Structure 1
Amino acid sequence: MSVSRNIALAAKAWPFEEARKLLKRYESKAPEKGYVLFETGYGPSGLPHIGTFGEVARTTMVRRAFETMSDIPTKLFCFSDDMDGLRKVPDNVPNKDLIRANLGMPLTKVPDPFGTHPSFGEHNNARLRAFLDSYGFEYEFKSATQMYQSGAFDKTLLMYLAHYDKLMDIMLPTLGEERRQTYSPFMPICPRTGHVLQVGIVGHDVQAGTVSYKDPETGDLVTVPVTGGHCKLQWKADWSMRWVALGVDYEMAGKDLISSVEQSSKIARAVGSNPPEGFNYELFLDQNGEKISKSKGNGLTMEDWLKYAPDESLALFMYQQPRRAKRLYFDVIPKAVDEYITFLTKFPEEPVEKQVENPVWHIHGGKPPRTSVPLSFAILLNLASVISAESDDVLWGFISRYAPGTSKETSPLLARLVGYALVYFQDFVKPTKKYRAATDLDRAALLDLKAELEKVADDATHEDFQNAVYEVGKRHPYGELRDWFKAIYEVMLGQEQGPRMGSFIALYGRKETIKLIDEALAGKLLAA
């Protein structure tokens, strides 16, 4: 179902809120370049991580929202700052001595420690592009090295040279006393060593388009053009120069770059340009609550997530609450998968006004697939756990009994989830399973549950089973019902949390659950 412009204009989902900023930006006329330009930036000093993917995913969501409101064409540039000088050796790469010997060189001049590409920068660029391509993003890749060396930035670089004093006036107050002595917005590429130099500029010639500096090793006075890749701009000046040269209309950034956005915007205005719209998102945290870092390699990689869950669940994680810091580790994956299934299942029955507020509208560019998934990911994980599944055939035996007519062919999304559940179980659930012995209270309640299940028909619904579990829990002196469910999970499943038991029993089987109770009370699960 298509979304009318009026519905899009009234939508409250955050991508629509962001898109309305762009609509206001061009309410009088379209941009001269003929399209609205979205940009994301990537610093390839380390391997791409989920945060990099998240920025592209979120920006794409805003782009799609804008396209429902306006007929102005759009483009997305994914820009790699691969001409930056490498400042330190990443923790998560091989051949560290090779990298160490090339510190200070542009990333596209640092040898590839993996041995697969001409340079480290190109290796990381390829890793990023391969993932973005596999996800189906529509974008144009831009390399800083290519843009600087081709002359694409020359006109803007000369403009920045002409406004050299204004740039210094903006930046110097933000720097410490020592840094002020050597700061310049222009970083020469040393003709002698190839290093990106952070040296003081002793002279600049607007007419000649050059800057001069003293070689830090020889003391010689060196003059180089600011054009043609002979110089690179410092980070904040470089970011604003990119906005000006390309005509960027929208770029979001992490909360840690708020100051950079402010200074870069001031620079853009100082040279007579309008900085892009955007917002600052919160950062991802690892399992210890620390910021995820490309160089440290902490937290999840994109490959990690996709080993255990579909890419749609990753996109959902990026969509939800972008202005709130979120812990990003393996244990968030099952919840993200099940939330995706819930939103996808609801979508076809919702009125269009609700559909545009549903995350799957944004995940799938307004066209979510129609599919049904009769089981949650959590249920699949628990089934795999109870039967110690080694292959999907055993799981499908239970699934086909629970949902007759369901197969790999008729439910391809479920088939994918079964495969992911097996891998997740083997890597995370199986190694951490820890059963506990039943207390006297647990034993009495579980025997009561067994008796109730013996009364229920084999073909009872999951609600019938759930009601039986609830009624048993109410009859026994647990402090709260959740204490009863926690006891079931720990004694029967070997874990602190678990599935909705009615659905689990319906899937696993009434007789099989009764047998599982007997084994748990006999101590067989604990012994195993």
Structure 2
Amino acid sequence: MHWSDRIAQEIIRRRPDKEEYVCAAGISPSGSIHIGNFRDIATSYFVVKALRRQGKKARLLFSWDEFDRLRKIPVNVAKIARPEGERPWDEYIGYPYVDVPNPYDDGCPNYAKHFENEFEEAMERFGIHMDYRYQAEMNRSGKYAQYVIHALKKRGEIFDILDSFRTQSAQEGERENYYPVSIYCPHCGRDTTKILSLSDDCTVAEYECACGHKGTFDFTKDFNCKLAWKIDWPMRWMYEGVDFEPGGKDHASPGGSYDTSRVIAKKIFDFEAPIFQGYEFIGIKGATGKMSGSSGLNLTPDTLLKLYQPEMILWLYAKSEPTKAFDFCFDDGILRQYFEFDKQYNDFMEGKGDEFLNTVMANCLLETGEEDGRPVYRKIETVPMSLLVQLGSVVDFNVPMLETVFGKIGQPFTYEQFKDRLDRAKYWLEQCSPENVNRLRPYRNWEVYETLNEEEKKEIALLHDYIKNGGYDLDELNQELYAIPKKVMGELQDPKELKKIQGQFFKNVYRLLIDKEKGPRLYLFLYAIEPEKYVSLLDFSTPMTEEEKQSLIKEEPAPEETEKKQVPLGDPDPVEPIREEIDIEEFSRMDMRVCKVLKCTEIRKSHSCYKLTLFDGLKERVIVSSIKSYYTPEEMIGKKIIVIANLKPARFSGVTSEGMLLAATNNACGCQVIFVDDIVPEGTRIC
């Protein structure tokens, strides 16, 4: 039995007479929603489908936790410069996501909506339809007001429950000063408030904010507040009547969020917590660990859809127990995954699948309708991805040529059959595995040819004549490739020795044609390509051409990128006179600080400037400096420099610069940045 069916049976057993079951999932739009978060949705989605297979009505409820506070700025957002005069990104820490500006010029009203739309559009491509809840609207409309007041009245009991799961004892007075709600300050917009007192009926609070603002908050009509996570979660279970919700292994750990919230749900909100399923996090091939929406790793469902068909992504989740980790592959493991998926899909469509396989496929395939009470699925053409990659790279993914090639090798796939995988094959090959791109050489490879012995040269000549004469079919070509070494070497008694010689022959052909020692199956490769395109590369009967001679001229190796860039030295500049005197007050207005270089990146279309991201002891800042001709990024990253920190911001090469580094510039030495010993802390003032 599939794991989703086991969970569905348990849901029904607990509440057998419920009219409609609710399976929930939820994510904070902290950044681009990553494929690791998608397991939250996939797990609930499969349980919904299992409930429906058992004749029950069920829906998938998805909560956008957009009313959560912004905790940190994702890497890809931090790179986006704020408009001139607008506050920097880090000043929005503590705001709810819906009140943070949209980083992108796409018409979305706020930060949260941009990432919500990005994800919801991807879900449509999976055929997954959800009942969305937007928690900012739910809170600010007052729908939760009575439950917020209820939690305030029960705050002592809530504290005791939370305290029972802690390893450290509560401090004196901590229970009396505990409030399970955060108020967003109307003055600064952040949740940096502290409740000072609460009325006897728990409806009015006096509070103060870290920004200095003080005020009164009436929970019966002021709704810009939010319950703490472990109270908010069970409150929403009760409000929505949730029957099932999964969560990551951090929530699932003993004494974790679910255990705590389950007790709060029962004792505070008189609701039996939903069935919970913990799940392992998803990795990528060669990497492990939790994916974070704010880490900068932009592995979104939309990104994966450039590599995998939507059914395959769902298939990977469906065939794995939630507690088992698995990888998405960016190496040639993806070709094995396509092969396995195709086999299971074909077995399913031909009625050869067992109960588990049939359930996996029913969970992952996209339904397009119904016929005789049974679902109709989107048809998938199982054109071998490995073959599409191999042959596609040879003909540069030209569609008519691909159709011709497939026909010539006895597998006459048409564009209509392979179009859904064509762009994915090309994307994987060019973006993830460029070393596997096969390109015919423009000229004969004399350098390799001269290293061959006489027998090996005879083998190449025989192959050339055979290809030139033509008149063979695919099987005959395959037989000839293995026969050519026998013709040159004679019948060998040792099969291992023959296999070794044949392998070397194949390797020599690959090197002469595509500059590699291996490639696509040689007989397919030679049969698929028009002989006129490569037969000349096997003909060494004529002298070397001028073009071939030029191609053999070795270019001087480029200097290592990490080497310091050479600066023309010349006579020192004339020493300029000392400028007019200033007093100490004028000097003290200049704020020079020690800053550490965190990043050093090139600026598009700028020939001389780098964009430096620095830490000045208080926050990150960006400066633009014209040192590109003198330093590589690697020479700058991690170094400490001196920056004029209170210089009025200016815009250079499309980037706003918040300061200027100190450097000595002279014709005798070029530009030499003034570096500071690493022992000096960031933020130290130069005086």
Work out whether the TM-score is over 0.5: yes
Contact 1:98 / 1:111 at 8 angstroms: preserved in 2?
no
- Paired residue for 1:324? 324
Equivalent of 1:380 in 361, 383, 388: 388
Q: 1:239 to 1:425 in 2, by over 3 A?
A: same
Rate the CA distance shift 1:210–1:391 in 2: closer, same or farther, 3 A: farther
**Could you list the per-position Cα deviations for residues 342-372 of structure 1 after superposition, in whole angstroms to 9, with x for gaps in the alignment?**
2222212225754754532211266444455
CA contact (8 A) 2:406 2:412 kept: no
Write the mapping of 1:123-522 to structure 2, written as runs, cut at 5 A: 123-174=114-165, 181=174, 184-197=179-192, 199=194, 201-205=195-199, 207-218=201-212, 220=214, 222-225=216-219, 229-258=223-252, 259-271=256-268, 272-286=270-284, 287-298=286-297, 300-321=299-320, 322-328=322-328, 330-331=330-331, 332-351=333-352, 353-354=354-355, 357=358, 359-364=360-365, 367-373=376-382, 375-387=383-395, 389-403=396-410, 406-409=413-416, 411=417, 414-431=418-435, 458-460=473-475, 475-476=495-496, 501=521, 505-506=523-524, 509=527
* Aligned-pair CA distance for 1:278: 2.7
Partner of 1:19: 8
Letter of the 1:146 partner, please give it. Answer: E
Partners of 1:325 and 1:14 in 2: how far apart?
15
**Deviations for 1:319-349, whole angstroms, at most 9, x for unmatched residues?**
2323223344533543333332222222122
SS at match of 2:276: coil
Query: Which residue does 2:67 correspond to in 1?
Result: 83
C-alpha deviation, 1:108, in angstroms: 0.7
Distance 1:484 1:131 in 2: 48
Q: What is the rounded CA distance, in whole Å, between the counterparts of 1:161 and 1:16 in structure 2? A: 39
Secondary structure of 2:305's aligned partner? helix
Greater shift after overlay, 326-335 or 155-164?
A: 326-335
Instruction: Report the AA paired with residue 108 of structure 1.
Output: V
> Which residue of structure 2 aligns with residue 95 of structure 1?
81
Query: 1: distance between equivalents of 2:437 and 2:280?
Result: 34
Amino acid at match of 2:392: A
Residues 343 and 477 from structure 1, CA distance in 2 versus in 1: closer, same or farther, beyond 3 angstroms? same
Q: CA deviation at 1:447?
A: 6.2
- Counterpart secondary structure, 1:279: strand
CA contact (8 A) 1:104 1:196 kept: yes
CA displacement 1:276-327 (0-9 Å, x = unmatched): 1131111123554343211112152222222233222222232232322334
SS where residue 337 of structure 1 aligns?
helix
Deviations 1:104-138 (A, max 9, x none): 11111111111332110121111121211232212
Change (3 A) 1:325 1:404: closer
SS in 2 for 1:82: coil
Amino acid at match of 1:341: D
1:5 counterpart residue number: none
What is the distance in 2 between the residues matched to 1:461 and 1:346?
Answer: 32
Q: In structure 2, how many angstroms separate the alpha carbons of the residues matched to 1:185 and 1:358? A: 43
1:47-96 Cα deviation digits (max 9, x unpaired): 12222333323321221111111x33111111111011112111111236
> What is the identity, as a one-letter code, of the residue corresponding to 2:428?
Y
- What's the CA shift for 1:171? 1.7
How many Å separate the matches in 2 of 1:38 and 1:489?
58
2:95 corresponds in structure 1 to 105
CA shift at 1:226, angstroms? 6.8
CA deviation profile, 1:472-500 (whole Å, cap 9, x unmatched): 9x9336999xx99997999687789977x
| Residues 305 and 330, structure 1, Cα contact 8 Å, conserved in 2 | no
> Are the aligned partners of 2:26 and 2:65 in contact in 1 as well (CA < 8 Å)?
yes
How far is 1:208 from its partner? 4.5
1:73 paired with 2:67, answer: no
For residues 301 and 201 of structure 2, what CA distance do their matches in structure 1 show?
48
SS at match of 1:50: coil
| 1:46 corresponding residue in structure 2 | 31
CA contact (8 A) 2:22 2:59 kept: yes
One-letter code aligned to 1:234:
A
Q: What amino acid sits opposite 2:65 in the alignment?
A: D
Match for 2:307: what amino acid? Y
Q: In 2 relative to 1, CA 89–369 (structure 1 residues): closer, same or farther, beyond 3 Å?
A: closer
Determine the C-alpha separation between the residues in 2 that align with 1:426 and 1:344: 27
In 1: Cα distance, 2:505 partner to 2:62 partner:
48
Given that residues 204 and 211 in structure 1 are in contact (C-alpha distance below 8 angstroms), is that contact kept between their aligned partners in structure 2? yes
Distance 1:305-1:274 versus aligned 2 partners, 3 A rule: same
Q: Distance in 2 between matches of 1:497 and 1:319?
A: 36
Aligned mates of 2:510, 2:292 — CA distance in 1:
36
Aligned-partner Cα distance in 2 for 1:86–1:244: 26
SS at match of 1:41: strand
SS in 2 for 1:85: coil
Query: How many residues in Structure 1 have an aligned counterpart in Structure 2?
Result: 496
Q: Does 1:30 align with 2:38?
A: no
SS at match of 1:171: helix
Structure 1 position 242, deviation (Å): 1.3
State the distance in 2 between where 1:461 and 1:165 align. 85
Instruction: Give the structure with higher Rg (CA).
Output: 2
Structure 1 stretches lacking a partner, 5+ long? 1-11
Residue 44 of structure 1: how far off its partner (Å): 0.7
TM-score (normalised: structure 1): 0.78
Q: Which residue of 1 aligns with 2:562?
A: none
Q: Which amino acid aligns with 2:324?
A: R
Counterparts of 2:339 and 2:152, CA distance in 1: 54
User: Which whole-Å CA distance do the structure 2 matches of 1:485 and 1:270 have between them?
Assistant: 77
Q: SS at the partner of 2:74?
A: coil
Contact 2:279 2:324 in 1 (8 A): yes
Asked whether the equivalents of residues 234 and 265 of structure 2 are also in contact (C-alpha less than 8 Å), the reply is yes
SS in 1 for 2:407: helix
Partner of 2:673: none
Asked if structure 1 preserves the Cα contact closer than 8 Å seen for 2:180 and 2:231, the reply is: yes
What SS class does the counterpart of residue 361 from structure 1 fall into? helix
Q: What letter corresponds to residue 263 of structure 2 in structure 1?
A: K
Q: Deviations over 1:17-63 (max 9, x none)?
A: 2222212222xx323xx310011101111112222333323321221
TM-score normalized by the length of structure 2? 0.62
Bigger helix share: 1
**Which moved further from structure 2: 487-496 or 282-291?**
487-496
Alpha-carbon distance change, 510 to 298 in structure 1, aligned in 2, over 3 angstroms: closer
Query: Does the CA contact (< 8 Å) of 2:474 and 2:527 recur in 1?
Result: no
Q: Distance in 2 between matches of 1:460 and 1:377?
A: 22
Q: How far apart are 1:152 and its partner, in Å?
A: 2.1
Asked if the contact 1:185/1:237 (under 8 Å) is kept, the reply is: yes
Aligned equivalents of 2:506, 2:11: Cα separation in 1:
50
Report 1 or 2 for greater relative contact order, CA contacts < 8 Å, sequence distance ≥ 6.
1
For the structure 1 residues 217 and 506, does the alpha-carbon distance in structure 2 shift closer, same or farther, using more than 3 Å as the test?
Answer: closer
